[in-house]
Structure 1
């Protein structure tokens, strides 16, 4: 069993407060992750192309994951397949967003 002390941290993402648990020795990394996610979500919202907190979070997650996978090229991933999947996911999300935008026009 691990002797790591688990801390409860209050973080803010897009102005919403969340309490998350993490090992004490990973607190700095968690704070960096929160800052990166919050920054990306604000950028996506500012672009005006995506509406709704949930959709913004999904797009930020896809973008960050895409960047992460590019750093793992040597890890044996088939980057071309993953890029196609992400492109397909982005297209599906854009289609749903377009349908919802039409509903509220």
Structure 2
């Protein structure tokens, strides 16, 4: 898959980022969300460097990712339990049916 460079602006600086063709809109969406978070952090903090703002944003995004991963794991666990219950219910029904047929 080929890629091309697209320009992304974060906190007033423009960066040329390699992006797989067809994924430009996704990268721009992520960049817009990051810009919102960076701008919000910059507005709430006093005189901290771009590096510190970027670190804070990375930690916030990492925390959000961790929360989503935990939610997904809980959902998978719930679905596994429901599938197990469904399987055992089907097995009981099939055994009952087989015994009634005898």
Alignment of 1:20-39 (within 5 A): 20-39=17-36
Number of aligned residue pairs: give it: 73
CA distance in structure 1 between the aligned counterparts of 2:62 and 2:16, rounded to whole angstroms: 23
Deviation at 1:6, TM superposition (A): 0.4
Instruction: Show structure 2 runs of 5+ residues with no match.
Output: 75-102
SS, match of residue 28 in structure 1: helix
TM-score by length of 1: 0.64
- Runs (4 or more) in structure 1 with deviation over 4 Å come to none
Instruction: Show structure 1 runs of 5+ residues with no match.
Output: 77-105
How large is the Cα RMSD of the aligned pairs?
A: 1.6
Q: Based on CA coordinates, which of the two structures has the bigger radius of gyration?
A: 2
TM-score by length of 2: 0.66
Are 2:57 and 1:60 equivalent residues in the alignment?
Answer: yes
User: In the alignment, which of 42, 51, 69 is matched to residue 45 of structure 1?
Assistant: 42
Alpha-carbon spacing, 1:64–1:37, altered in 2? closer, same or farther (3 Å):
same
